[in-house]
Amino acid sequence: MKTKFLITLLAIGLLSNSTFANTTNAKDPEKDRVLIYVLKNILGRFHYVKKDLNDDFSEHVYNSFIDGLDPSKRYFTQEDLKEFSQYKYLIDDQLRQSNIDFYKLVYGRFLEKMKGAKNTYRTLLANPFDYKKKEFIDVDYDKVPYAKNKEALKEHWRKQLKLSVLSRIEDAENQQAEKLKKDKDFAKKSFSEMEKEARAEVLKNMDDLYLRIEELENSDWYSTFLNSVVSGFDPHTSYMSPRIKSRFDQDMSGKLEGIGARLQKKGIYTHIVELISGGPAWKQGELEAGDIILKVAQGDGEPLDIVGMRLDDAITFIKGKKGTEVRLTVKKKIDGSIKVIPIIRDIVELEETFVKSSTVEKDGKKYGIINLPKFYIDFNDTDRRDAAKDMEKEIARLKKEGVEGLIVDLRDNGGGSLKTAIEIGGLFIDKGPIVQVKYRGEDPLVKNDTDPKIQWNGPLVVMVNELSASASEIFAAAMQDYKRGVIIGGKQTYGKGTVQNIVPINRFYADYPDDLGVIKMTIQKFYRINGGSTQIEGVYSDISLPSRYSYMDFGERDLDGALAWDKVPQAKYNTTNSYSNFGDVVYNSKQRVMNNIKFQKINEYAKWLRKKQDENTYALSYDMFKKESKKRVDEGKKFKDVFKFESNLTFESPKYELDLFKKDTVLEEKRVAWHKNLKKDIYMNEALNVLSELKMSTNHIAVKH
């Protein structure tokens, strides 16, 4: 079995292919061989798709790398592309020979262009633009051609910067108009004053951007090239540096070891943005949002100055193992004083990652709502909390409160652990198949829930949207195929039906002294128990509700290189016959939605958004810019209150949380805000309508034999 070569992690959540990774040095021939090994052996042997390294593959790497460096076409010209094109169909041959001449040429040219860019934008922003000149800019950079030469490139820069300045002038004018309404004596600024301030703002933003760019090293850009190569297999295969892998683990487990603070780089300083409720810094009590960290010391060690340090590097010094001490030299926001704050690091749980629940009464009956943001798990410590354990516990708590129906909210849930998806599915059936998985060239494997315990056998509604993906789609599809729950939400879910595995590159270079990172690789596709793939198609809702995404180019089907839809034989299972009135409930909801003025307006809004998605040209004369902007604003005004809704329902925390609130007021504030949003959530309101109508069947079995 192929899996003996792979670690047993099945990470199927949606992840962005990070372009920045502090790992591979293109000048190190040993690391060059790592790249070739990954391509020829790991990906070649284990990726779900057998990919030939041919001219088509070479062209993908060529386009992907150039676009990765210059997505807005600010640096390269057609003259550069002509020179680069000598390698367009040779990159596959170069990779076989450990040759990276293409990378060296493009990256070297990129560095040259970057150096000149700072002078270009500063020169252009030194004086006012001609705001009467009738001209336009197209911001659809996928279709806009590269500038012909240096002069044309400077013109491209000029238009981009002018658009940014125009936008800020307009904002300033609008703010000024609002202030005049409130204060007739407000001192109005002239156009020239607002224009000068707008250019200064754009200049500062550009300087800040290039400050961050200049922190990146050769190894960061080489990683962009590496991801251009591995993404040639499919959109979800990527290289992760040790730093990115650490973030991935944190995201999957919902925990980290450190001080419990969110940090942000502003200029040369590292700022505290937020303290994580219940974390070490929050408990210690001296650190506050807005404080600036100047130095970091490990216990009694010598303080390290982090001013000007890139944020990722600063974080590595601030984070650390549970029980160790870090001493932060901090400039306090409140009075500017300098203070040394000692903090004992600990495990920090990211509360927003985890399951949360609410109760609500409707027509004299109490219902439970469980929000699951992701299918989380700690792969390094399976004894710790995970989504399945927490879901089981949360359902038990809601049952104690006497809920008569349950909503599982998977909206915006991008996935996570396959293991927890299977186990959560098992909470709603006796036992039986939940999903099928298939390796390249092999028969599908049926993954079963083997635990006969049913944690919830009452009415079930599953909420999804176009961002519900991967593990979310496994669970929703299983509940739909068993007819165990009603699926309500967007027309179809995201459509990610592939499974990724994490393979440490050092496994194949055990003696290499540095951590080489990992390859996140697509090794399987998964299929519903009815045999159909969720790849591309996703899960079609039983009850489709209009949303802002209804007509957008969105989801797996719109990704370049996405694997195709297919099907396998159906697994052996019996439907649960859970409801005596399933068809009637679905019909009633569809009629309500069709006749609901609010949903009609949302549908109209979605069509308008789709139309606006195709409008990428802006006028650059100020009068025309304002005229077009006013037209867009006026069109948008009729949709201003499109999502404005308020039910007469009251959402409350389950009783066990009330004791927690006495110790954690931040958690209480977050729950109050969530409950207010639920009250204003038209989708939740309709889900509750559906739940309240469902009637359990007398021959409900929830079982497979």
CA of residue 219 relative to chain centroid, distance: 24
CA distances from 205 to 137, 161, 306, 460, 487 (A): 20, 11, 22, 49, 45
Non-local CB neighbours of 127 within 8 Å, separated by 6+ positions: none
Question: Which candidate in 223, 231, 470, 472 is catalytic?
Answer: 470
* 626, 618 Cβ separation under 8 angstroms: no
Check residue 39 and give its pLDDT: 66
216 in helix, strand or coil? coil
Superfamily (CATH) of domain 351-595+681-693 = 2-enoyl-CoA Hydratase; Chain A, domain 1 (3.90.226.10)
- Check for a shared fold between 255-349 and 351-595+681-693: no
| CATH number among 3.30.950.10, 2.60.40.1940, 2.30.42.10, 3.20.20.70, domain 255-349 | 2.30.42.10
Predicted confidence at residue 252, as pLDDT, reads 59
Q: How many angstroms separate the CA atoms of 222 and 308, rounded?
A: 23
What is the residue-wise DSSP string for 437-504? EEETTS--EEEEE-----S--S-EEEEE-TT--THHHHHHHHHHHTT-SEEEESSB-----EEEEEEE
Q: Whole-angstrom Cα distance, residue 521 to residue 44?
A: 11
Sequence-distant (6+) residues with CB within 8 A of 614 are: none
- Confirm whether 51 is a catalytic residue: no
Instruction: Indicate if 470 belongs to the active site.
Output: yes
CA gap 520, 512 in Å, rounded? 20
164 catalytically annotated? no
Angle at alpha carbon of residue 65, lines to 514 and 43, rounded to 5°: 55
In the chain, where the domains are located? 52-232, 255-349, 351-595+681-693
What is the amino acid identity at position 625?
F
Provide the Cα torsion 277, 283, 286, 287; round to 10°. Answer: -30
Mean pLDDT, consecutive 10-residue stretches, the chain (705 aa), reads 33 32 44 68 87 92 94 95 96 85 93 92 96 93 93 95 92 87 85 94 88 78 88 91 74 71 80 80 85 90 82 83 90 82 84 88 97 87 84 97 97 92 96 95 94 94 96 97 97 94 83 82 95 96 95 87 95 94 97 97 93 87 92 87 94 94 85 94 98 88 42
pTM for the whole structure: 0.83
Q: Which residue among the candidates 51, 265, 496, 520 is catalytic per the annotation?
A: 496
Set 32, 390, 481, 542: catalytic member: 481
Sequential DSSP letters for 230-258: HTTT-TT-EEE-HHHHHHHHHHHHTEEEE
Strands 543-544 and 486-489 come out as parallel
Provide the 8-state DSSP code for 42.
I
Give the tokens for residue 225. 């090239």
State which H helix or E strand residue 369 sits in: strand 365-371
**Which pLDDT value is given to residue 87?**
96
Tell me, what's the pLDDT at 245?
A: 75
Sorted by sequence, the CB contacts under 8 Å of residue 395 that are 6+ apart come out as 368, 370, 406, 427, 455, 456
SS3 annotation, 110-144: HHHHHHHHHHHHHHHCCCCCCCCCCCEEECCCCCC
By residue count, the chain amounts to 705
What is the secondary structure of 485-513 as a DSSP string?
Answer: SEEEESSB-----EEEEEEEGGGG-TT-S
- The encoded tokens of residue 653 equal 């925390």
